[in-house]
Structure 1
């Protein structure tokens, strides 16, 4: 009996070395730059590689399509949010939760506002090209980071599960980040946005501490 060879689809190359990462990131950066200047449907892969300064074949070493590139861009921006939340959680250990939450809110907001146009494209791509299971998984990760941050604070009740408050903070902050990034810069005052979101987060935590919902066991 003659054994027949099966054809296996060749996976796209994963960037490993520094130069490979630079090529992949150049393609992503060029794509987002073009999105800031134009419409998604009008951008071609040839446009992307021309702006990135790489060969057309280099694109297909890393991405199968423009849609996969869009999902990759969303993935890496979401990782930036997670890394920022993790850094803030590490700094929250032994600190009052209101102080930790305020610092985290302002850090995230400044990150988005300092690169407003590109973050706006992130949230737009997320809505258009993130599969629902992936969106839910990312959101669960954001909520978990908030939960760990609250539970690491000095005044969080020992043994109390922080999932509920973490979910509320995550919804509040993520919604504010997305709305800010998708709004035109001329439509809001950065200082006022920082003040209002800081006030919303700290007021919520203050109300939570005085509420019987929170079992204050120390």
Structure 2
């Protein structure tokens, strides 16, 4: 196999992070290697020697990967924080609507549901803080793993809150609303849980 393609494939396999940003990073590295290869070919080196020389100049994948992974980890941290800010407020609004309807029907809000919703809400606040922090050039080493577990906690609280809300309300009178909340919870849980999982993997490799 072409040394440049082998190099890029090995580096790509070692990296974790947002797919779009990772793809852009790999593309830029491949383009850089191609430019170096062209320069070596113009200098008169044979193709195989030129490719090996281009790869050697870039450094081994093990040498290049840490800086790439750190950048991807910061990006994934922001991705998870943004996922919290997008999903949690919508579900909080849905849960509040369900509690309002429940009170109108003489059913008080479940304390368990309120506690779980508070956990999700706190996670969203932490997500907002993480977005602000990651705008800095220097990101605290512990932030990615904190954000990863914050996202995980919120993703667990989401379905549990919805279950607590759904079991407290009469299904016959409220099934359209509960169906909408359940569908939204499933989508939000899936997106946030996957993002948090990737964030944990990134943090494990970068720090």
TM-score bracket for the superposition, by shorter chain length: under 0.3
TM-score, scaled to structure 1: 0.25
Q: Which has the higher contact order (CA 8 A, sep 6+)?
A: 2
Q: Greater Rg, structure 1 or structure 2? A: 2
If the length of structure 2 is used for normalisation, what is the TM-score? 0.26
Task: Tell me which protein shows more helix as a share of its residues.
Answer: 2
